[in-house]
């Protein structure tokens, strides 16, 4: 427990200090969503129709921006070598790092999403569902991203490869997350999509630490 | 504490780096690992730490074979490699406190004192000199007092005279407690009765038999 809080505390501190990149995902999310009306035109009806998909797609891209640093810095400065000799299992390390990634990247998106939803003319009824779907979906994005980060850890310029690997894995989360918001905006029941999204995230949370730890073990050799 | 290494071999990228390395090390002993650049000193230390796979041979630490029970083996090893595993954004004390929490010794004062880091404890690590960073990396050894085998890869690099003396006295104290250390280095070790193990670069068999064929170059040959 003490080990877990030490790792989590360190990850948060590193992300929030200068150069940690915690604000990067959030700024990216803001800019992408604010750019969309310039591309599609300011027609409120059209914006309302594309709002759920746009918000979710922007959140998804923002979540994978800082993934390449998840294990790369620890690999480059020798920290992963020492961590692999420590009593903390690699699976636990992966879970803690993914959790810290979500707290510094995913959680801020959940909080600012309603503000951006206003700019895309999303109906007010759907705001709570937007936040709920992002809160349930984005942890899965961070944990799936940890697999990609672990697979590409030894590679120079692995960031682009990581996006290519990880973004297809995000498709189910994107479908159910955007569907839940769209249902709420259309006045239909968003619960089926939201329940499936929650189940999907639980599945990812259970599986990803083991997959990422296995990839790390191979890459550390 | 007893380490048995017999007929150890290791390849990297298909090239043999270590061949037939055998030695034993008992508690209280320090072993200086010597040899020219490229003779496999770092590779040997990484293999012993379980960070690189070996291609042949056996390593047993206190009766635990390497590769069988990773946790039991790893908890007897303290490794300090070329990289100091320091986060530049954290202060010296924060860096040490993290490793202290991980290795179960929350009190970092002895480690700070052992490598004379008390005066710079509040300094961000990015503002430390190379020698100070090295001392910070080595101070991690003092945070894992019950790990008997120290594996040190050129620990004296960028250390000044007094800092080297601190390192050597830490190694002597570790050996006096019954621990052992393997130190890859090019400098004389002032750690009491250090034995030396000299590695020679592995001479690969002639290119034809090493399994490395380049049909393009062979086609060009007259």
Mean pLDDT of chain B: 87
The tally of domains found in chain A comes to 1
Tokens read off for A57: 């797609």
Torsion of CA B133, B137, B143, B146, to 10 degrees: -150
pLDDT of B22-61, one tens digit each?
A: 999 999 999 999 999 989 999 999 999 998 989 999 999 9
| Residue in this structure with the two tokens 């592995």, named with its chain if needed | B202
Containing structural domain, residue A28? 2-220
Q: Model pTM?
A: 0.89
- C-alpha–C-alpha distance, residues B68 and B70, integer Å: 6
A105 contacts A142 by C-beta, under 8 angstroms: yes
pLDDT digit string (tens) for chain A, length 221 residues: 788 999 999 999 998 887 667 788 899 999 999 999 999 998 999 999 999 999 999 999 999 988 988 999 999 999 999 998 888 899 999 999 999 999 999 999 999 999 999 999 999 999 999 999 999 999 999 999 999 999 999 888 888 899 999 999 999 999 999 999 999 999 999 999 999 999 999 999 999 999 999 999 988 87
* Predicted confidence (pLDDT) at residue B218 exceeds the cutoff of 60: no
Query: Taking residues B74-89, what's their average pLDDT?
Result: 92
Residue B206 binned pLDDT confidence (cut-offs 50, 70, 90): very low
Q: Which of A208-212, B130-134, B189-193, B196-200 has the lowest mean pLDDT?
A: B189-193
A8 in B contact zone (CB under 8 Å) = no
Q: Which of A10, A78, A221 sits opposite B98 (nearest CB)?
A: A10
A7 in B contact zone (CB under 8 Å) = yes
A13 in B contact zone (CB under 8 Å) = yes
Residue B190 binned pLDDT confidence (cut-offs 50, 70, 90): confident
Which residue from B53, B167, B54 is spatially nearest to B111, judged by alpha carbons? B167
B106 in A contact zone (CB under 8 Å) = yes
What pLDDT does A19 receive? Answer: 67
What percentage of chain B carries pLDDT values higher than 90? Answer: 64
What pLDDT does A221 receive? Answer: 77
Chain A residues whose beta carbon lies within 8 Å of the beta carbon of residue B102: 3, 6-7, 83, 86-88
Q: How many Å separate Cα B222 from the centre of its chain?
A: 47
CA distances from A36 to A39, A219, B159 (A): 5, 39, 56
B140 in A contact zone (CB under 8 Å) = yes
Q: B142 burial class (0-12, 13-18, 19+ CB within 10 angstroms)? A: buried
Answer yes or no: do B51 and A84 touch at CB < 8 A. Answer: yes
- C-alpha–C-alpha distance, residues B154 and A63, integer Å: 40
Q: Which of B74, B98, B106 sits opposite A85 (nearest CB)?
A: B74
What pLDDT does A201 receive? Answer: 97
Neighbours of B165 (CB within 10 A): 12
Query: Which residue ranges make up each domain of chain B?
Result: 2-76+148-220, 84-144
What pLDDT does B205 receive? Answer: 57
B180 contacts B3 by C-beta, under 8 angstroms: yes
Q: How distant is the Cα of A163 from the closest Cα of chain B, in angstroms?
A: 26
The CATH fold assigned to B2-76+148-220 is: Rossmann fold (3.40.50)
């Amino acid at each position: 427990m003490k080990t877990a809080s030490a790792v989590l505390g360190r990850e948060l501190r590193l992300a929030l200090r200068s150069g940690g990149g915690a604000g990067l995902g959030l700024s990216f999310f803001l800019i992408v969503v604010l750019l969309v009306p310039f591309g599609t035109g300011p027609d409120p009806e059209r914006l309302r129709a594309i709002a759920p998909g746009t918000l979710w797609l922007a959140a998804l891209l923002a979540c994978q921006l800082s993934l390449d640093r998840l294990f790369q810095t620890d690999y480059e400065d020798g920290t992963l070598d020492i961590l692999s000799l420590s009593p903390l299992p690699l699976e636990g390390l992966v879970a803690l790092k993914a959790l810290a990634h979500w707290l510094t990247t995913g959680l801020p998106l959940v909080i600012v999403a309603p503000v951006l939803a206003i700019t895309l003319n999303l109906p007010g009824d759907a705001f709570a569902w937007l936040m709920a779907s992002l809160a349930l979906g984005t942890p899965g994005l961070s944990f799936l991203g940890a697999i990609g980060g672990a697979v590409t850890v030894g590679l120079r310029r692995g960031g682009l490869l990581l996006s290519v690997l990880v973004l297809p894995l995000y498709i189910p989360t994107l479908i159910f997350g955007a569907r839940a918001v769209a249902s709420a905006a259309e006045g239909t029941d968003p619960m089926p999509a939201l329940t499936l999204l929650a189940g999907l995230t639980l599945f990812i949370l259970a599986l990803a630490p083991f997959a990422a730890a296995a990839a790390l073990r191979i890459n550390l050799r | 504490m007893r380490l048995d290494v017999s007929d150890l071999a290791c390849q990297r990228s298909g090239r043999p780096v270590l061949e037939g390395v055998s030695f034993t090390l008992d508690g209280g002993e320090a072993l200086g690992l010597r040899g020219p650049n490229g003779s496999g000193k770092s590779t040997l230390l990484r293999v012993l730490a379980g960070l690189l796979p070996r291609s042949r041979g056996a390593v047993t630490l206190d009766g635990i074979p390497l590769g069988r029970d990773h946790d039991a083996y790893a908890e007897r090893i303290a490794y300090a490699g070329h990289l100091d595993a320091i986060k530049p954004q954290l202060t010296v004390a924060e860096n040490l406190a993290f490793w202290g929490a991980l290795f179960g010794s929350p009190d970092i004062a002895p480690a700070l004192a052992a490598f004379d880091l008390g005066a710079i404890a509040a300094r961000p690590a990015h503002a430390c000199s190379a020698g100070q960073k090295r001392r910070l990396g080595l101070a991690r050894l003092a945070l894992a007092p019950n790990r008997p085998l120290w594996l040190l890869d050129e620990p004296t690099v960028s250390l000044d005279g007094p800092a080297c003396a601190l390192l050597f006295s830490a190694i002597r104290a570790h050996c006096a407690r019954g621990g052992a250390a393997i130190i890859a280095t090019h400098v004389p070790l002032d750690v009491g009765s250090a034995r030396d193990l000299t590695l020679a670069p592995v001479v690969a068999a002639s290119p034809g038999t090493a399994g490395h064929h380049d049909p393009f170059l062979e086609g060009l040959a007259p």
